[in-house]
Each structure stands twice: as C-alpha cells, then as structure tokens.
Structure 1
C-alpha cells in the first residue's frame, strides 16, 4: 500500500523538466542573470551578492519552478577554451539564452562569431532562443536597435524558431522576469517537438 501511495504522490508532484543553456562570452553577465532570475522567481531565495560572482570555470546549475514546470539552467563558462565543451550539452537542451554584453563594443564581433558557431549546430535546430542585450544599466551601451541587426545576419541559421531579442540588466533585474516568462511559453509551444525530461 505504501508503494502505491508513494508512486501516486510522486506522480502528482513531479514536474516536467526543461533544460535551458545560458551561453555567451566570458563577462557577459550570464551568472549574474541566472542569480537575478532565481532571486525574482524563487520564493525566499536570497541571491548571491553580484560583487561576489566570479568568472565561471565549467558550469553553474540553477533551477526555477514556474508555471507547473521546472527549468534547469546550465550556465556554461564563456572563455574561448571552454566554448569547445558547449556542444556536449546541446542535445539535452530545450532552449538557449544567449547573453551579449551590450557595453562591450570591442567584442561584439567576437560574440557574433561565437553565436554563429553555436546556432549552426544541428542539435539546437528549432529550439527557442532568447538573446539578451545585457548591461543596459551602463551608460553608452548598445541598445537593441543596434544589437539586433548584428545578429539578424544569422537569420538563415536562426530559422523559424521562437526568437526574442530583449534588453536586460542582470544587475538591477530589469527585464529578467519578462524574459523567463517568454521563454516558458516558447518552450511549452515547442514541447511537442522536444519532449521534457520527467524529473524522478
């Protein structure tokens, strides 16, 4: 009887799990964005002080339960020597968040080249893409109107997937919640193509 009740309980509380990659160059604000998302969308979560966030070497993992599903975020290090490891995670992912440092004009072309290499991978075909113009709190940053045309040059590789380019500040939290809510809707629309992982 216990086994039956335990099984029923697990069935009732388990959530479909979707894996979201957070990619971009080093120092684009990926980890700060993940911390801001967890702070805004997880009850009683006290985020890390942004001053204590260091460069990711390898992988940070975070989870958010929202709209009856679980989002598992994989925040991957953006240094050039770590980018070769990204494709190990592509096949299991359900969406991509690509973070651009909109204040770093000198590395915009490098960010675009890394994006192009990533978006061409067959394992990412069709999955939703949220492209974030981060650091909008800084003066003299590039706005979405400047950044969007740079990445639209890759339209042939982006294809017909759900795609949104939006301004955010991971540091202040502006735009973070709206981006995650859009991503949830896009992932659920795409779930007939890329099925969720069922969390045990």
Structure 2
C-alpha cells in the first residue's frame, strides 16, 4: 500500500519541464542571455557579466516563468562545436537563435547556420525565436535589416511559430518580452511536442 501511495504522490507532484535550445555563432551573447534570464526569473541568482567566458561544450540553466519550468541549453557556437547541436534537436521544445547584431562580417554565415538548424528533420514544427542581440550598441544592424537578410529562410520555417525580436542581453532590454513570446508558444505547441515530467 505504501508503494502505491508513494507512486501516486510522485505522479501528482511531478512538474512539466520544457527544454529550450539556445544556439548561435560564438560571441553572439548566448551565455549572457541565459545569465540575464536567471537574474530576472531566479531572483538575481546569476553570474556577473564580467565573469562570463566563451562556452566550450554546454551550460545548463533552469528558470521558472508563470509556473513553467524551462531548462535552458546554452551550447557552444564555435564552428567545430556546431556539429554537436543536432544531438539536442529531438529533445528540445523550442530554439532560441541569438544573432550578434554588430558582427556584420558573419551575418550571412549566421543566416546559413540557422537555415541548417531549421531544415533538420528533428526541429520540424518547434517554435524558433531569433534574437537580434546587442541592440544597445551604436554599431548594431537595425532589426529590419536583419529580418531582410534572414527572409531567405522564411520558407524553411514553414507554418511553425517564429519571430525576430531585438534585445540587449547585457542590459536586459527586450528579454522579458522574448521570454513571454517563448512561453506562449511552448504552451501552444504542447500537443505537438509534450513537455517532460520531472
């Protein structure tokens, strides 16, 4: 009887968890974004921006937004690490693709990289949020210019939810709006890719 009651209690108290894959070229601001999200939604528990170093491999962060548990997978964006991204696709519920708005020299490489991500069979149907980061800097591309560059992959996105939003991960500008968009789409896509139970 004890084991039955324990099993029922365990099943009733398990929480839904969504895995969000955070991708982008190296130096796009992925880890800074994760730390900013943690500071906003985990009551300030995050790493100071001056202590953030390039990700080699992966970082994992957890946040709760509107009673939704999100597991944030920040995966390194160096060229040699991008081959590993596909190992995460089947288990993620959404993708955040971070673009360095100041890196004009690699913007086309960035577009081609996102094209590879969204055309992979394991990412079909999941929401994609593209964040034009570093909008606080004077040398950043305008969001409209970035959208125009990335319009070439619009057909590859199909009918899935997708959006381009401006942010500054360092300053926090636009981060809560991005999180709100994401959580709404995760709930909307729940039937297609159900959350994990933890």
User: Contact 1:41–1:177 at 8 Å: present in 2 too?
Assistant: no
Q: TM-score, normalised by structure 1?
A: 0.94
2:112 aligns to what?
113
The residue matched to 1:172 in structure 2 has which SS?
coil
Paired with 1:167 and 1:57, the residues of 2 have a C-alpha distance of 26
Paired with 2:3 and 2:139, the residues of 1 have a C-alpha distance of 61
Counterpart mapping for 1:2-21 below 5 A = 3=3, 6-21=6-21
1:137 aligns to what?
136
Paired with 1:28 and 1:37, the residues of 2 have a C-alpha distance of 16
2:174 aligns to what?
175
Paired with 1:40 and 1:66, the residues of 2 have a C-alpha distance of 10
Q: Deviations over 1:142-173 (max 9, x none)?
A: 12111011111101111111111000000001
Counterpart mapping for 1:46-195 below 5 A = 46-195=45-194
Displacement after TM superposition at 1:10 (Å): 3.3
Query: Which segments of 5 or more consecutive residues in structure 2 lack a partner in the other structure?
Result: none
Displacement after TM superposition at 1:115 (Å): 0.9
Q: TM-score, normalised by structure 2?
A: 0.95
2:38 aligns to what?
38
* C-alpha RMSD of matched pairs (Å): 1.4
Paired with 1:19 and 1:46, the residues of 2 have a C-alpha distance of 20
Q: Which moved more, 1:91-100 or 1:8-17?
A: 8-17
User: Contact 1:15–1:68 at 8 Å: present in 2 too?
Assistant: no
Q: Deviations over 1:169-193 (max 9, x none)?
A: 0000111111111101101100101
Q: Deviations over 1:44-94 (max 9, x none)?
A: x33211111011000000111222221111100000000000000000010
Paired with 2:185 and 2:13, the residues of 1 have a C-alpha distance of 23
Displacement after TM superposition at 1:11 (Å): 3.7
Displacement after TM superposition at 1:12 (Å): 4.2
Paired with 1:2 and 1:54, the residues of 2 have a C-alpha distance of 49
